[in-house]
Amino acid sequence: MVISHNQSTPSNRWIINHNQNAEGALIDVFVYYDGALRKVLPLKIVEVTRNTIEVHFTESHYGTATLAFVL
């Protein structure tokens, strides 16, 4: 299962509620930088619960995250 999260408001912490009741998602994070969407490595990614992931940055960003789960 693959899920996309769109972060339209700049933030240094993205809260992703995926509701998959699963652990160990593979995550790709893309932020807008100089007008282009670029893949980045966030400061950290935290699995808060089996349904919620937080992505942390050193500064505010907006963009997308793609989560892949093996169910």
- CA 71 vs. chain centroid, Å, equals 19
Residue with tokens 């240094």: 12
For range 52-71, the mean pLDDT: 95
The pTM of this model reads 0.92
Give the number of other Cβ atoms within 10 Å of residue 69's Cβ: 15
Each residue's pLDDT tens digit, 3-12: 999 999 999 9
Extents of the domains making up the chain: 2-68
- CA 19 vs. chain centroid, Å, equals 14
**Read out DSSP for 33-55?**
ETTEEEEE--SEEEE-SSSEEEE
**What's the pLDDT at 38?**
97
